Amino acid sequence: MNFEDLVDGINPRVRKTAYFVFGFALFALGAVKVAYGELDVTAPTWVDVAVAVALFVGGPFGVVAGANTPKRVRVSDDDIGDEYLESGTHAAG
């Protein structure tokens, strides 16, 4: 079993939720770090450690998300019919 098989086995909704939660957590952590910087106060050690860990984990998380982004929109003829183009846009007329 390779890594791609492992990731494909995870429910897409679960992956989407994980990406959203992780992104929001990074946003909040970044805001805390910036707030300490603007107040000219030394950030607690836990903030520095959390930022370092988040940056370390964030790279692979982003690579997985990027690797699972379709190169083009997949359209099933059964679902929408022939009037839709491969790109997912509706044909005029």
How would you write the pLDDT of the chain (93 residues) with one tens digit per residue? 666 666 667 777 887 788 888 888 889 999 999 999 999 899 999 999 999 998 898 888 777 777 766 666 555 555 555 444 544 555 454
Q: What is the pLDDT of residue 76?
A: 58
Closest CA to 33 of 55, 63, 59: 55
How far is the C-alpha of 17 from the C-alpha of 48, rounded, in Å? 25
Its pTM stands at 0.57
Q: How far is CA 79 from CA 11, 17, 84, 85, 91, in A?
A: 21, 25, 10, 13, 15
